[in-house]
Structure 1
Amino acid sequence: MEKFTIAGWSQPISEITNLLAEPDKGFFKAKGIALDYVPGNGGGAAIQNMLSGQADIAFTDPASLYLALDKGEKLVAIYNIYPQNVFNVVAPKASGIRSAADLKGKRIGVYSLASGTYQNLLVLLHQVGLGEKDVTVQVAGLLNFAPLMQGQLDATAATDTGLLVARAKGLGEVDVIEVRDQLNLPSDLFVVTQATYEAKKPLLKRFLAAYRDSAAWMIAKPEEAARLALTRAINGRDEAVNLEIIKLRNRSSVSPTTEREGLGRFDLEALQKGADTFRSLGLIARPLDMKEIVKSDLIPQKDGMP
């Protein structure tokens, strides 16, 4: 058994039940891997924990990858965890905000200025010719639906699972602007250092095969995953909510590309467009060629493909 550690962007929460279920299901053990998980607070923290030697691989987002590459870090993206963009902007029906263009002059909440909610809000605004100067961005914390519900914000940037939980807590009628309708940037990727990529290919290949098996299990058996989340996830106390969150994550794990080529496959065009957008926004300074960063040779083949 080889020890292998993931640096996560989050605490052990229900949407990653396929990883948390390892003691029960043994997907990684079957590939000779003793799995460990280091929690983090955002994709940037995941990359930092990996770079500091606490983990072998980072479970991170494209924005954090772009920012790290811009600082000169030598990184490789090896698996597309969630090909679908799960970020959105939510506004009460009464606000009259129906599209990204309607956000001009409005007060919009984000989790933090280091979060995907902030970066994806900027991307959304950019796609309709607006910038941060055209809105008022307010840091509202992880409970950012509370200020919205209390009328302190006109809209809030969130994720699909955040919106689900808010609706369960009494969020009223809202309009939801999906960032993926403007730019369907993947939500999360597995990223390693170039040195790890070159030195540990057989181990990484086994890890990705095990991860693919765990993701396929959660897609095939969401009810079983929701039950396991009751004891494995720190936020998993409600089985019905677990199931809805897991179904959302399952949907974000698949795309036309993965349907064709198998789980984990990249849409290089989307990642390149994201990098170009971040540069035009001034979030990164250097041009990035994502063909140099994305490597698909370790991703397991779809069953039946050569």
Structure 2
Amino acid sequence: MHVTAIVSTKGGVGKTTTAANLGGLAADAGLRVLLLDLDVQPTLSSYYTLPHRAPAGCYELLAYNESSRSQLICRTAIRGLDLVVSNDAQGQLNTLVLHAPDGRLRLRNLLPLFRPHYDLLLIDTQGARSVLLETAILASDLLLSPVTPEILAARELRRGTLQLLRDLAPYRHLGIEPPPMRLLINRVHPVSSNARAVQVALREVLAVEPGVSVLDTCVPAIEAYPRAATAGLPVHRLEYRRPSGRQALAALDTMRALACELYPQWRDHFARVHGRLVDAAC
């Protein structure tokens, strides 16, 4: 099971939308996908319709080491896509995890519960520095960090998210290497050249940052993404062809490119999503 955390110490950059749409594409590609909502604001937990809702969620998982999948796993309306909901309405988990004997390693230690049953685990996190964010990072194989195409956002990335990674470096003494980070430039205006300038600036800033790189894929600021969220659908199902006269790629092409860049080992699976959707539409 590959574990990816979608992280940023800055809110409003599109973490939840990225997690929901990446998970939906991977599930349609035939992968077994689990979404884990660690954001105290449970937006991901309400993105998809849940035909089966489990009685417990992340609170029971992390506070009580709940090990029964029947208590934790919600089934979404997307075949192959499951969810553990955020149900920490009082925001107590940060304090509980901070004082737990296994502390920031608790989620990492609980992952064997899910490994035999899923190919991909996507963790959505809070847009602020927290113990839960650190817990998610230390449990992950890869970090995906959306960045809006603004120079100030790039500077905030260095001050916030990258500093957090540096602060977790002492875990190397326990044999835990900080996972590599991929930066996704998100909400790019289709006719703006600012994204390219931000890409260049980010690559310059990150030249001395080991394990951090900027993805070639950029996500355009198009109406399809909020429409998909309103409909409770992965965006690639809503827009599988580029509208005439628009420069930005179809949402399907963008999400498939992103998935292939992040998980080249499943490239053939992602290619089949294109074939199924186009055949169904014709």
**TM-score of the aligned structures, taking structure 2 as reference length:** 0.33
**TM-score of the aligned structures, taking structure 1 as reference length:** 0.32
